[in-house]
Amino acid sequence: MARFGEVINPPEKEGKEKHVPVIEAPASVKAGESFQVTVTVGKDVPHPNTVEHHIKWIQVFVALEGRPYNPVHVTTFDVGPTFGDPKVTFPMKLEKKATLFALEYCNIHGVWENSVPVGVE
What residues line the site for Fe ion (CB under 5 A)?
106, 108-109
**Under 8 Å between Cβ of 7 and 110:** yes
Q: Which of 109, 53, 113, 114 is nearest to 79 (CA)?
A: 53
Looking only at the bridges linking them, the beta strands covering 110-120 and 28-29 are parallel
Active site residue 43: no
Q: Which residue is at the shortest CB distance from Fe ion? A: 106
Nearer to Fe ion, 46 or 119 (CB): 46
Closer to Fe ion by CB, 6 or 14: give it. 14
53 carries an active-site annotation? yes
Q: In a 3-state reduction of DSSP, which class is residue 7?
A: helix
Given the residues 18, 56, 87, 97, the one annotated as active site: 18
Q: Catalytic site residue 106?
A: yes
